[in-house]
Each structure stands twice: as structure tokens, then as C-alpha cells.
Structure 1
Amino acid sequence: MELDQENSDSVQQANKKPVKARTRGRRRSNRQRKPNPNRRSGGERKRRPKVIGPPPVGLNLENCRRVAWERFGIEKLHPEQEAALESLISGQDTLVVLPTGYGKSLIYQILAVLAEGPVITLFPLIALMRDQERSLDEDAVPVVRLDSTLTVKARREALERVRQGGQLVILTTPETLTTADLQNALKGQTPALLCVDEAHCISEWGHDFRPAYLRVGIERNALGRPTVLGLTATATPRVRQDIAERMQMEDPTIIAVPPQRDNLRLAVRNVPGNLKVAAAGKLLRQLRRPGIVYCATTKTVDEVYVALRRARIPAVRYHGRMTKAERTAAQERYTKHGPRIVMVATSAFGMGIDKRDIRYILHLQVPGSIEQYIQEAGRAGRDGRTSHCILLYDESDLDIQRRLNATGQANMGQLYSIGDALSAWADVDRTVAVKDLALSAQVPLTACRALCNQLEKAQLIVRDSQAKIRVLVDTETLAATVDELTRRFATKHREDTRRLSAIADYATSPECRSVFVRKWFGEEDPPKCGQCDRCRPKPPPVKQSATTRDQEKSGKDKTKRRRRRPSRRRGQGNNRPNGEKTADDNNNGNNSSGKNTAAPKRRRRRGGVQRGNVESTNSGVSNVNTNDQD
């Protein structure tokens, strides 16, 4: 039976199924996921119209709750936040250790709205101050910022606002707090609160010791001993005790919460150094963005960034060797809510970044300490949703951190030599250039500049407009302070070595990741998390006996032999249509009847269509061969 061309085309078009477009990776719905109000962290702002009116009168816990809701949009405070507010309201010095993204800054911000006097808040980084200033401006809280980046006019206006007194948040650094301009502007005023952010910087036992913080306790006495609030995300029991002593806290209230949040999934994967970039690329295709990839060196950042761009994974980078404009542009692009991109950065990125939807933190190399690792990992999942924190571990990465620690350590002998040279110049009441000081102390110029920066942060020296150094203290005080700094730097060097050993133990320990971290921060007998790679390991591969493997191998060999395509023999029928003959047929006299007597070869099916009966056309529509008969 013959089929006409038109009917054949219409039948096949009707039976043709629509082809679905292939998608790479997981399927994603276009519908927006509804926010879960039960997954809100303590610092998350509720989406609602903000109506700002006059604050309530009276400093009590009930008014603090009202301010949190009416001014900052926080429906309910954490119990730890309320405990800290009650302690400060009663005039008690308080040290608060809360995880990253838990709402530590909200404590002093609420008090600033209710208190009658100024609230002074000290920050180690100018970037943190700018973020806080922007946030307080949005919430209509009076605020001024005092740091070295201000113009002369802006600094004069800020100091004039400080002189006026009243409710005001003063954001500054420990170095600026000791300047005569700010001290004069604060004359006759007793601050309602002295808040120290990143308080672990005051302790040489901490992972980020800064000499400038050593004078905070002395400056507190000069301000009339206001109530002190210390804020930090990572502090071991020894660091907490040292903070209280250095800040001269009297019987302080210490509020501490385990640094790891429950929504973070901790994991470690052993990956050799030469395979890490490839392993990271494979992981990033499986994990949901946005995320951060932390590297130990700027060279590694550039390598990973280029590799991700070649793999068509949207990425930006951030490290200290980039220009300020490049770093600002990268940070602004990443913090926007729209693009789901990957940030590849060193540890210089992340502090003060308020991005709540980060879904993973991947450490390509070992960080310098558990404190640093937990602080960086805590930047994921601030919205309360499940997030992943993965460390790619290789023992050789520890050498990178050892070299970085050695580079950042002050040479004790060089520090003593510079101290003696400065004392000699101070005896004759003369200023000295850094180049001349390095020559007098017989110290390399680069090392001399680095050590002078440390002495300047410790308020021992100052540089004038001509970049010459002038000693601010007498020779006895200078010598005593240099001795103290030398001792503290030696202690910091020992602690850096101990912390690096601890992060190696974390990566190789068989116990629960959360249990290890909580024990490090002083918690006794913590429970297992039940969600890390130690608590929920991947099932091991099934081990097969030698007999089973031999049987499977033998079966595969037989299958291969059966599937081997037989060679065509000469003179056999080749399924030529219409009984056509070849030259061999005519010469040999075979098949003289003109018919093909060989049995037709069995056709293989592709897509359910017989190759011998259907021919494809250029239009992509199959035509039935009209020579076939019933």
C-alpha cells in the first residue's frame, strides 16, 4: 500500500513529541520563594514601612524593646541581647561574645537612642566605621565619624557636633580617641557608654592583636570611667579574661554564645594542592550561589578568579594589591542582591559586609587559626537558611601560613635597636626621618618603617607634616613600653604557632566538627551537631571479593566478544535494492536471475525507525519509501 507524501508528513508531525530544552545543573523554579519568618536572625530587619518618632523616655528593658521595633524594625531580641542590655542599664561593665551576624551592634545602637549622653564606639577598621555610619543614618540615629580620612572641614564640623553634646554616636578609632582635638571636644561631658568593637584586638592571646588598643583602659579613666561594652565574635576563655583586664573592667558580666550557628554545615575535604582549583570549580557548580572563596595569597586569588571566568562562572576578586577603586567596585557588585556571583578573596574581604544570603564559604587553603576560620565561615547564612562551610585541606598549606606569620612578626632585636635610637634622638630634642633612624639603628629601611608603624599605633611616636618622627613620651616610658611590646609580640608568635596547630587538628580530627570548635572556645562536653561531614559521612564504597570481581570481569569479556561486529564475507548479499548486480556477481556467474537471494541482514533500530525503510530528507521530515509493498 502506497502512502502519499502529504499524508506521511502530517502523520509524523502529529506523532512528534515536543522536545524539552536541556538545562545544566539543578532545576530552578521561576516562582519566588516566600520568606520564612521563623528563620530570621537577631540582626535581620523586618520588611515594613518605618515610622520614626521621638524615642521613649527612660532607660529600661521595655523601652529597649520598643526602640528595637519602632526604630530598627526588630520584632524580638535574642535573650543574650536582652541580658546585655539589662547589664548595661544597671551600670555593669559587659563583655559580649556572639557569632557573626547575631546582632552585636544593635546593643549599643539601642542604648544610643535612649541615653542622654554620647556613646563612643571604637573600631579597628575605617571600613567598619563607614558601614555603621551609613546604617545609623538610615535609622535616623545622630552619628559622627572621626578618622584620618576626613577633610579639614569635615573634621571641624564633626568636632563641633561633639562639643554640642546630647544624644550622639561617635564612631572613631583608638588612635583618634587619644588626640587632643577630640579630648577637648569631650571636655565637661561623661559618655554614657564606651563600646569597643572587635575587642579581641586588645589581647596578645587573640588572633588579631593591635597595639593601639592597649591604651583603651587608660583613656577610659580620662573620660570619667564610663560603662564599657566589649563586642567580639571569637574569644577563648583566656582571651576573655585578658580583655577584661586590659580594659580595666570591674566584675564584668560575660555573655558568650557558641560561635558556630546551627544552620552552618561544616565539612573538610582532603585535596592535594595541585588539584584544588579543579576541585573548587566542581564544587562551585554544585553549590548554590552567592558564595565566597577564601585564599591565603593574592597569587592564588588571581589564579582561581581566572579559572572561574574561563569556566563561565560569574566571579569577582578582592585582595590588597588591587587599587582602592577596584576593591570598592568589586565589593559593591558582590553586595548587590541581584547578581548571584562568587567572590574570590583573601582575608581582607568580609569584615563589615552586610550580605545575608551568602550560601557557602569555601576555604581553598588553610586559614591561620580556628578563630579566623569561624569568623569567615560565619559570614554565610545570616538569613538563617542552611549554608555550607567547606575547607579544602592539604598539609602543605600550613607552610604558607607559617611564612605569612613570619612576615608579620616583629623582629625583637630590631625593635630594641629602634627604641634605643629613638631615645638617643629624644635626648637632644630632635625629630628624625625614617631613613636616618634606620641608619642609626642599623635596621633595614623596610623593617624600620613597619616597626615605626607599630610604635605609632601604640601612641609612642608621631609623624609631622614633613614625615619626620617625634617621640611623644619620655625616654623611660619609651623603654618600658618597647619592653612590653617586645614581650607581647613574642607571646603572639607562640600563640600563632599554637593556633595553626589547632586548625590542622580540626581538619584531621575524627570527632564532630562542631564539638571540636566548641571545645576550643571553652565549652565543656558540647553535643554533636548531627549535620557535619563527621556526623553524616558519605557511605563507603562496597568492597567486593576477588571471586566476585573475577566473575564480573569474565562476564564483561564475554559480552565484548558477543558484541564484536562480524566481518563481511566476499560474495555474500549486501542487501542491494532492486536486485542490482556488482562486477563480481557478473564475473563469477552468481545470482544470474538478477534477484538478491541473500537473507536480508537484521537492521539495528535507532530512535524506533528502521534505517532500511526510511530515508531522511533535508527538511528533517522522514519519507516512507514508496517501493515497499504489503
Structure 2
Amino acid sequence: MIEETLKRTFGFETFKTGQRQVIEKITAGKSAASIFPTGAGKSLCYQLPAILEQGLTLVVSPLLSLMKNQIDFLKSKHIPAAKLDSGMSAQDYRETLEAARTGQLKILMIAVERFKNERFRTQLRQMNVSLLVVDEAHCISEWGHNFRPDYLKIPLYQKEFGIKKALLLTATATPAVIDDMCEKFAVSRENVVKTGFYRENLFLRIRPVAEEKKDALLQEVLAGKPAGPAIVYVTLQKTANRITQMLRNNGLDAAAYHAGMKNEDREAVQNDFMAGKTGTVVATIAFGMGIDKENIRKVIHYDLPKSIEGYSQEIGRAGRDGNPSLCCLFGNKNGVPVLENFAYGDTPDFDGIRQVLEDISQSKGSLFEFRPYAVSRMSDIRLLPLKTLLVYLEMANIISPKYTYFEIYAFKYLIPARAIIEKFKGERAQFVKTILDNAKTARTWTQIDIDNAVDESGSDRQRVLTALEYFHEKKWIDLQPKSAVEVFEILNSAFDPESTARDLTDLFLEKEKKEISRLHAMVEFFETDQCLAKSLSGYFGERLDNNCRRCSVCMEKTPVKLVSSHVPSLERMNYHALVQPLLDTAESPVSVTLATRFLCGVSSPRLVAYKARQMPGFGRLEAWPYKSVEKWVRLNHI
């Protein structure tokens, strides 16, 4: 049955290494983990079982581009598949959920945040989900390079919705991360399938180069062999835009791709690259996730990657067809401070953490309502570390998640309210009338008071929401909830905000320390005197007996030394002139942390509110080490 499906549906004659083992475990009813390098066919490990399963396969994926590419592939094979994302029209969203609920879909792809959506959770309870797939599963581990706090809750969701088995997919997991993943999802180690990391068709090169000569070297490498599609990875959005324009000015076909672009523009770039209409994409790290383009001949790191894991994932997008491909890194340390800034910017300071904790401790009753954007602005903590903070509080048994609700349930009447009520009889008609009596229309949109509807009807909130969803499905209303609020139960109201804030600050500082050490370990890795392929494989727990004989170290027979440009002493800078625009705009005293972030170009919710990016001085010292700037600010700050 497995071989027949492989040939008939996918058109493949044989499995790639490891695929059959994983598929057999899943079809036998077991949870499993697939640790395959990028491009080694992880997706087939859930796509093929999904056809054979009776129920729905729910795939949790971190990126929209990954979802789109996978859905396009599945549809080309006539496999019923769909995704849910915030950019969908109300009708598409409604039809997709209905298809999933009625068994018309085999695969549904979502982002992890979708589990918090009250509407989705209501629908999910009515779906027959037979397999939960967690892509980029290393995100669940704090030992990993891309920890996402929301991933910690996926095992809880698996239990809550009664999904019996899970498949974990990743390309970049060290042995410690694999252990962590398996423990959290209760995957037996005998059901972990790990294939070799090393690919002999990838030629790893490190080219030491001064900052001012990188553009010329980029043109040289792009013009050289092997000819074919190329991805150029950079750290910053502005660098992607500048290099794209530079390449175009020099007659090369290039397009930029980064998070600052509109979704439709990013999709157009991706589609053109896949179709061969664009030869080179200059991108930040988001590009390439899930892109199944076999003939990428060059992956060039114009700037240093963020980690060894990131580097391995990015070079893994080259040469999936098995033909020789170049992976060239421009050896330059100038970007290290910018990379460090990402870590420092995600570390909340003590005052911000204490503010959040005081808000919780002063909550009336046993529940705490969390409005992410409002709390982020108030505390000046970015959303991702703010979510991590809440996870830490959960782990300390101070709070526990209860549910998420929307503050605003707005809809448009597609048929009159009376016509909706008349479709029901008896108690149900009275219940529907009570709901709609608590809805007020202002021009086009109608807003319903859920609490009043619950009180007056004597029903629970879930029944009211189910009714609204039903009206939406029947196309009697167009329902569009807004303003999500996460509700937590306070388990320990006697905690001390001051001492707890100190403990949590220490935790974040330890996390920051790990990220910085990971970055410096990467720089040391690139300056190794060992075979690059051998060192890289060893990092992921694979042993190569022989050197590759084709990387920079093997060919030059000497360690690579990354180039570093000198920056002037900070003592020559005029501190007060640089920060004055911020001081003139700020509504409250400017802290050392805020001034440092401003000068280093590290955005924060408060700096966004002040429109700091448009001020002279913002990012003026991004080439200097963050800690050096912080020390200098502390000396000059009044």
C-alpha cells in the first residue's frame, strides 16, 4: 500500500533515505521524529500517511511561505489540502474550516498561534484529527537556536484535542535538542529516524573580505561557476534593498525579500524565483523555508548567519538535485555587533518585567487578562520575549492559561435579523433572539455584547459562540472577531513582584548569554583549522571519518581568518547630540537601556511609538559592540 501510494499519487519510484522508516511508524499508529537535513524529503513523511489515514492531518508550520509552497505541491498531486492564515477572505476561511470539519480535507496547515483563536478552537473540537505534525520542531527547545515559547504549548494542545500521535520534523537539531523534543512530546527514542547530515555535492567556501570590497566580490561569485539560481543572505532589510539595487544597476537579475515587504510582494518574488523568472534573491533569513527548488546552484552569505544551525539550514537549500553547488560565506566580522543586537534587544530589563508582574499581582479576583500589544507598549518588552516571560511564569506556577477570547465580536448582517430568528422554533428561537437583541449596529458593522447575551439567555459562552459560528457558516452573517485577550488564572497571588522580577531578569540574562556565546562559537567555527564539512557534521552528532577535501580549509590547508574593520573610539562621539532627538520626543525619562537601544538601532515598542527610526542618531552606533555602547551611555547619561 505504501509503495503503491508513492508511485500512484506522488510519481516517485523509490523513497529517499529514512522516509520509509518514518512512514511505517506513523501508519502503525506511533508518534515519531524525522531528523533529516534540509531538502531530504521530510514533508513526504506526513503527506503520504495523510492519504492513508482516516482523519485529518494537522500541520503546525512557522512560515506562510512554507505553507503556500506545500499546498501548491499537494494540490498538483490532487491531494485535498489547505492552510489557514490571517490574509484569507472571510469566505475562504469559512469554506476551509467547513471542509476540514466535514472530512473533505486530508491536510490542514496552520501557524501555532492559531490554537489561541477562540473561533478555531471551537471548530477544531468538531474535526477528526488523526495526526499532528510539528514542523521546525526544534523551536520547542530552549537549547535550540530558534526557541518559540508558543511551541511549548503544542504538547498540551495535543492532549486537549485528543490527537493520538505526533510527527516531529526538523533539519537542525543537536543531540541535546532532540532529547528535549522527544521528552516534551513523549516520542520514544526508537521512533527517532535520523539520516546523515553530510552532502558531498556542496562545496563550502569562506572568502575573507573587507566590508568595502564585498559588493565587488558578490558580483564576481555570482558571475562564476556553477551557473544557475542563487540566494544571497543578508542580516538587515536595508542591506537586502541596497544590494538588490546594486546588482540591478550592474545588469544582474535580482529581487529583494524581507519581512518589511507586503505579503503579496514577497509571494510574487518567491513565485518568480520558483518559476525561473528571477535568477537571484537577496534575502533575510525568512526566505527559503520550505522552498522546494532543486536547482539552486549558489547560496551566498553576504553577512554572517545568526548561528551554526541557521547556516546549515540555509546552505541546505543548495543543490537538492545532487549536482555541484557553491556555498560561499564572506568572512567578515563587521556584522557581529548587529547580530549581537538581536539578542540584546530581546532581553527585557528589570523595570519592564516588574511592571508586568505588578499588573498581575494587582489584578482583582483570580484571573488576569493579558492584552499583548497594550502590555508590550506599557513595559517596553517586545512581543516574543513577553510571551517567553508568561511561559516562565507558568513554569513557576504563578499563572496558568485558561482561554483566549475576543473583546469584540463584530459582524455584518447578510440577511435581516428577523429572518435568522424565524429559521428556529421554540427555545432555540428565543435563544437566537436574545443573542441578536444584544447586538447593536452602527452603519455597516454590528457588535454583540457576549456577556449580556450569556447572562440573559442563561447559556454558557461556548453555546453563544457556536451559534454565531453557525450563522456565519450558513452565510446569514459575516463574522469578524477582533482584539484577542488571553486569560490566565493566578495560581499564586502571594508572589513578590520585586524578587520574582529579579529572578526572571537573571533567567533572561542567562538566555542572552547563551545566544551571545552561540554567536561567538559560530565565528570560531568559521575560523577553524578543521575540515568545515567534518566540523559541521560533528556539531549535529554525525561523525565523518574523512575530510571532505573540497572546503576552504581542506583546499587551502590553513585556517581561515575573518576580516575585521576598525571602528573609531566612542570618546570621539558627542553623546548628547546623538540622543537629543530622542530626549526631545520621549514622554518619560529615557533610561540607559532605551538610549543604548536607540544608538545601536535596536527597536523596541517604546521606540516604535516615538517613531525613533526616523530620527537622526537612531542606529548611529550599530557597528559598535552593544555592551561597549551601554557602558559609554552609562558614563554620559544624566
* Fold equivalence (TM over 0.5): yes
Indicate whether 1:508 and 2:523 are aligned: no
Matches within 5 A, 1:53-452: 63-165=1-103, 168-187=106-125, 191-251=129-189, 253-287=191-225, 288-339=227-278, 341-411=279-349, 413-425=351-363, 427=365, 437=375, 443-444=379-380, 447=381
Structure 1: unaligned runs, 5 residues or longer:
1-62, 541-630
Given candidates 506, 518, 523, the residue that maps to 1:499 is 518
* 2:47 alignment partner AA: Q
Deviations along 1:76-134, whole A, 9 cap, x unmatched? Answer: 10231111112223333211111111110011110011111211111112232222222
TM-score, length-normalised on structure 2?
0.67
Distance 1:351 1:432, change over 3 A: closer
C-alpha distance 196-314 of structure 1, shift in aligned 2 (>3 A): same
Question: Partner of 2:541 in structure 1?
Answer: 522
User: Relative to 1, partners in 2 of residues 1:179 and 1:438: Cα closer, same or farther, differing over 3 Å?
Assistant: closer
Find the aligned partners of 2:271 and 2:535 in 1 and give their Cα distance. 35
Q: Kindly state the Cα deviation for residue 416 of structure 1 after the two structures are TM-superposed.
A: 4.3
Instruction: Report if the CA contact (8 A) 1:268-1:393 is conserved.
Output: yes
Alignment check: 8 A CA contact 1:519 1:526 kept: no
Q: Distance in 1 between matches of 2:507 and 2:77?
A: 40
What corresponds to 1:476 in structure 2?
A: 491
- 2:240 alignment partner AA: V
Task: Assess if the C-alpha contact under 8 Å between 1:295 and 1:364 holds in 2.
Answer: yes
Q: Structure 2 vs 1, CA of residues 148 and 422 (structure 1 numbering), >3 Å: closer, same or farther?
A: farther
Cα 1:250–1:80 change in 2 (3 A) is: closer
Root mean square deviation, CA, Å: 3.3
**Cα gap change, 1:144/1:312 in structure 2, threshold over 3 Å: closer, same or farther?**
closer
State the distance in 2 between where 1:539 and 1:187 align. Answer: 60
Give the C-alpha shift of residue 468 in structure 1.
5.8
Query: Are the equivalent residues in 1 in contact too, given 2:371–2:485 (CA < 8 A)?
Result: no
SS at match of 1:474: strand
Cα distance between partner residues in 2 of 1:462 and 1:409? 28
Letter in 2 for 1:299: K
Bigger Cα Rg: 1
Aligned AA (1:464) = E
Contact 1:350 1:376 in 2 (8 A): yes
Residue 212 of structure 1 and its aligned partner are, at CA, apart by 1.1
| 460, 464, 471: which one aligns with 2:407 | 464
Contact 1:116 1:167 in 2 (8 A): no
Go from structure 1 to structure 2 and tell me whether the alpha carbon gap of 1:395 and 1:213 turns closer, same or farther (over 3 Å shift): same
Report if the CA contact (8 A) 1:204-1:491 is conserved: no
Q: How far apart are the structure 1 equivalents of 2:558 and 2:173?
A: 36
What is aligned with 1:581? Answer: none
Q: Percent identity?
A: 30
- Helix, strand or coil: the match of 2:310? helix
User: What is the one-letter code of the residue matched to 1:522?
Assistant: G
In 2: Cα distance, 1:194 partner to 1:76 partner: 25
Compute the TM-score of the two structures, normalised by the length of structure 1: 0.68
Summarize deviations over 1:485-533 as a string: whole Å, max 9, x none. Answer: 8787555423322321222122110111111101111224543222212
Distance in 2 between the 1:95 and 1:430 partners? 36
Shift in Å, 1:159: 2.4
SS at match of 1:102: coil
- What is the distance in 2 between the residues matched to 1:181 and 1:469? 11
> Structure 1 273/215 Cα, relative in aligned 2: closer, same or farther at 3 Å?
same
1:65 alignment partner, SS class? helix
The 3-state SS of whatever aligns with 2:553 is coil
Relative to structure 1, the CA distance from residue 218 to residue 429 in structure 2 (aligned partners, 3 Å threshold; closer, same or farther) is closer
Q: Which moved more, 1:197-206 or 1:471-480?
A: 471-480
Show CA shifts across 1:275-332 (max 9, x none): 1112112222213231111111122223322221222122111122233343233222
Q: Could you tell me how far apart the structure 2 residues matched to 1:487 and 1:142 are?
A: 48
* Matched position secondary structure for 1:497: helix
Matched residue type, 1:300: T
What is the letter of the counterpart of residue 511 of structure 1? Answer: Q
1:362-419 Cα deviation digits (max 9, x unpaired): 1011111011011111111111111000111112322221112222344465234214
- In 1, distance between residues paired with 2:189 and 2:286? 35
Number of residue pairs aligned between Structure 1 and Structure 2? 473
Decide which structure has greater helix share: 2
Residue deviations 1:425-482, cap 9 Å, x none?
454978687787578x6x34xx3666556679996866634976744121228989x9
1:188–1:252: structure 2 CA closer, same or farther, 3 Å change rule? farther
**Structure 1: which amino acid aligns with 2:73?**
S
Q: Is the 8 A contact 2:26 2:32 kept in 1?
A: yes
**Partner residue of 2:577?**
none
Aligned to 1:44: none
Does the CA-based 8 Å contact 1:117-1:166 persist in structure 2?
A: no
The one of 529, 532, 538 aligned to 2:551: 532
Classify the secondary structure of the residue corresponding to 1:514: helix
Gaps of 5+ in 2: 395-400, 410-481, 560-638
Matched residues in 2 for 1:435 and 1:326: separation?
A: 26
Match of 2:562 in 1: none
Secondary structure, counterpart of 1:193 in structure 2: strand
Q: CA deviation at 1:201?
A: 0.9
